[in-house]
Structure 1
Amino acid sequence: MRVAIVAESFLPNVNGVTNSVLRVLEHLREEGHEAIVIAPGARDHQEEVPDYLGFPIVRVPTVKVPLIDSLPIGVPNATVYDTLSSFEPDVVHLASPFVLGASGAFASQQLDLPAVALYQADVAGFATKYHLAPLAAAAWDWTRTIHNLCQLTLAPSSLTIAELEDHGINNVHHWGRGVDAERFHPSKRSETLRRTWDPTGTKKVVGFVGRLAPEKGVHRLVSLAHRPDIQLVIVGDGPSMSDLQAELPTAIFTGALGGEDLARAYASLDLFVHAGEFETFCQAIQEAQASGVPTIGPRAGGPVDLIEEGVNGLLLNVSTFSADLPSAVDYLLDDCRHDTLRANARASIENKTWRALCEQLLGYYDQAIVAASTAPRSLLSRAVALPVRAARNFNAKVRELPRRHHRGEGVA
């Protein structure tokens, strides 16, 4: 099978979208398939990788976007259409399509190529969180247009599937995420590392791992910041770091970690907390569970499918998350149940391997190919008119915002 992946984000930027694409590419290589990746180019200070496992990476220019300027946005251009046309894939995989991925969806339809869209980012939710509420409705219009150009949409959680269907997106199926259960393992727990965080050896270590940005809700851990029996550890980097360091003055900020350093950090926690309500899946919760760490998450989005209350963690209401957090922490850290919770956390991911998930994905590719072969073809005018109209509506909403919210800062 020949697979073209149009990724909204990719190396050298590491995030949930990038990680899932890497795992898919690894499986495609193992199974002898061919692939190509179309992705945003690296920023000025980053080193660009030309291929991954021998699969070529075709880059497009990037721009800076205010408020999320740590994440480069790929600029759609003729490269997307030309690459798909010359590669002639059997299926196009759109990883979290919104800007670059949208051009992949339009090009796929114009070239009569089957397309599978993976919904991985709640853009409408982000718009609300970043005080851009007027964009939320337009974001849903745009998302619906993109995804309904594809044969299938894959979503990672039951709540996300329901939300997509409520907004008029068709042919939505479930595709979760695998986890590397060998890399993330309770055996990676390091007493040496724990002593660097807590030289007294008397505190429970509660942590967060992820991008430090407003939508992650890390500020909600403030209710734990001054407890003498708890050491907060924040793993990650991002635009909110300086603000969080001021809000959580007793916390240890490690910066971004990877590889074995990240695995040791996860396993050395006593409890993992993720407070952001905009996660379509929340892979960090799975990685913590694989490391044998009980988890707390919001009763929203992906965490609802990952956390079984009282078994491997707890879910808290978003509106009262910070106020409810201390008592939830006390419950999960109680010596009478903590070891059982740790064992349950690990057990909850035992069957969630990337191999199984990627085999399921190949099955979805086959479904899309069959659906495309039997569907009536749209007239070119209709195929073009729909995205153009949606794009105009979205751009009109952008122009209504105060200039400081949307003015570009130049090409990266």
Structure 2
Amino acid sequence: MRVAIVTESFLPYLNGVTTSVCRVAECLRDRGHEALILAPRPAPSHYAGYAVHGLASVPVRQFPVGLPMGGEVEAALADFAPDVVHVASPFVLGASALSAAARLGLATVAVYQTDMPSYVRQHGPGAVGRGAARAAWRWIRRMHEMADLTLAPSSATLAELRAHGIPRTALWARGVDAALFHPGWRADAGTRALRRSLAPKGEVLVGYVGRLAPEKELTRLASLAGLPGLRVVVVGEGPTRDEDAAALAAAGVDAVFLGRREGDDLARAYAAFDLFVHTGTRETFGQTLQEAAATALPVIAPARGGPLDLVDHSRTGLLFDPDRPESLREAVAHLAGDRVKREAMGEAGRLRVAPRSWASLTDQLLTHYSSAQQARSLAG
């Protein structure tokens, strides 16, 4: 199969969209398929043995937003002649790709991954934010109406898309790299050294991994102030790093910011933690929750959105009520004081995510590609 992947985000910028595109490309390569990646510049010229077609972009909040110009996307698709166009988290480039694919008669699969309406609503006060969110949903509906199939990463997101009138939807979750993220890292010398530096007095380490931005709501961790024998460890970078650090310091939270980590260094960071906390309520999925679970960490996350599919409450972690400020504090205090329960939940979480390899998820994706081709053939 020939697959054109058009993504709003790609290397060198790391986030859930980039990770998904990279893993899918690697699995397509391993299965002998052909692919082309279209992504905003700056981007590498090749990835996983596939050519990457870099497109013009402008920076928005330290992030490149692709600008389709002069029919470049359509020309690239026409030249490659794919069997299916995979549009990752469409908004700007993705809209152009879906429109171009429709003109070319190409099958399309749109992968919904970013809750843009919630993001724009968060950045606008009152009626302005609500109006912007409604406008975002109108744009999203218009885009996805052009797709032969729209894939949602979680049951909550699937229900939301259907409630907003998005047609032809299905569920497609995300894989986890269990070869990289696993509890065996705890025996690694680098992990032990990291833990000694972070917990010199045997502190319980509460870890967070992710982008530091308003929608991640990291300041919820301020509720952990005063819990004894506990240290918060934050891994990631983003526009609100200084603001988040200042807010936690002002609240009296003992927090360490490690910055961006990748590969083995990221795996070591997970393995150094005692438990994992996610704070954002706008996640369509929550890839870092799976990575933490694969490392046998109990996961604490809000009972909203993607985490509802990823955390089996009281078995693999705890879901807290994001509308009740003390709920996160209670959940962390409960697990911080019970090592046996932490280890039991962590192991249950590891076993739960073990079957979710990217290889198996890509096999599912290939089935969705075939469904989109059939739908396009019938419509054509």
TM-score (norm 1): 0.87
1:326 paired residue number? 329
Shift of 1:30: 0.8
Q: Structure 2: how far apart are the matches of 1:346 and 1:100?
A: 36
Q: Structure 1: how far apart are the matches of 2:232 and 2:32?
A: 45
Q: Structure 2: how far apart are the matches of 1:86 and 1:246?
A: 51
Q: Structure 2: how far apart are the matches of 1:339 and 1:64?
A: 43
1:290 paired residue number? 294
CA RMSD of aligned residues (A): 1.1
Contact kept in structure 2, 1:210 and 1:236, CA below 8 Å: yes
1:64 paired residue number? 59
2:195 paired residue number? 194
1:359 paired residue number? 363
The answer to which of 10-19 and 336-345 deviates more is 336-345
Question: Which of 175, 178, 184 is the matching residue for 2:175?
Answer: 178
Shift of 1:336: 4.1
Shift of 1:40: 0.5
1:160 paired residue number? 157
Question: Which of 139, 142, 148 is the matching residue for 1:145?
Answer: 142
Contact kept in structure 1, 2:316 and 2:346, CA below 8 Å: yes
**AA of the residue aligned to 1:222:** A
Q: Structure 1: how far apart are the matches of 2:271 and 2:21?
A: 25
Question: Which of 166, 169, 177 is the matching residue for 2:166?
Answer: 169
What SS does structure 1 have at the residue aligned with 2:181? coil
Structure 2: state its 5+ residue gaps: none
What SS does structure 2 have at the residue aligned with 1:300? coil
Contact kept in structure 2, 1:217 and 1:274, CA below 8 Å: no
Shift of 1:32: 1.0
Aligned residues, how many?
Answer: 366
2:68 paired residue number? 76
**AA of the residue aligned to 1:285:** L
What SS does structure 2 have at the residue aligned with 1:337? helix
What SS does structure 2 have at the residue aligned with 1:266? helix
Q: Structure 2: how far apart are the matches of 1:192 and 1:224?
A: 25
Shift of 1:258: 0.3
1:52 paired residue number? 47
What SS does structure 2 have at the residue aligned with 1:205? strand
Q: Structure 2: how far apart are the matches of 1:198 and 1:299?
A: 29
Shift of 1:53: 2.1
Q: Structure 2: how far apart are the matches of 1:197 and 1:335?
A: 18
Does 1:102 pair with 2:105?
no
2:7 paired residue number? 7
2:38 paired residue number? 38
The higher-RCO structure (CA 8 Å, 6+ apart) is: 1
The answer to which of 264-273 and 126-135 deviates more is 126-135
Contact kept in structure 2, 1:332 and 1:341, CA below 8 Å: no
Contact kept in structure 2, 1:289 and 1:346, CA below 8 Å: yes
**AA of the residue aligned to 2:46:** D
Shift of 1:345: 1.6
Q: Structure 2: how far apart are the matches of 1:208 and 1:335?
A: 19
Question: Which of 82, 98, 120 is the matching residue for 2:113?
Answer: 120
Shift of 1:338: 2.0
Q: Structure 1: how far apart are the matches of 2:206 and 2:348?
A: 18
After superposition, where does 1:167-316 map in structure 2 within 5 Å? 167-189=164-186, 190-201=191-202, 203-249=203-249, 250-316=254-320
Q: Structure 2: how far apart are the matches of 1:309 and 1:227?
A: 22
Structure 1: state its 5+ residue gaps: 43-47, 377-412
Q: Structure 2: how far apart are the matches of 1:283 and 1:127?
A: 22
Contact kept in structure 2, 1:222 and 1:248, CA below 8 Å: yes
1:398 paired residue number? none
The answer to which of 323-332 and 87-96 deviates more is 323-332
Contact kept in structure 2, 1:298 and 1:316, CA below 8 Å: yes
2:28 paired residue number? 28
The answer to which of 183-192 and 121-130 deviates more is 183-192
Q: Structure 1: how far apart are the matches of 2:137 and 2:103?
A: 23
Shift of 1:133: 3.2
Contact kept in structure 2, 1:225 and 1:251, CA below 8 Å: no
**AA of the residue aligned to 2:301:** G
Q: Structure 1: how far apart are the matches of 2:185 and 2:282?
A: 29
Q: Structure 1: how far apart are the matches of 2:85 and 2:300?
A: 36
Residue by residue over 1:143-184, the C-alpha shift from the partner in whole angstroms, topping out at 9 and shown as x without a partner, is 011111011000011010000000000111010000011210
Q: Structure 1: how far apart are the matches of 2:26 and 2:360?
A: 13
Shift of 1:270: 0.8
TM-score (norm 2): 0.94
Shift of 1:325: 1.6
Shift of 1:329: 1.2
Q: Structure 2: how far apart are the matches of 1:191 and 1:58?
A: 42
Question: Which of 349, 355, 359 is the matching residue for 2:353?
Answer: 349
1:392 paired residue number? none
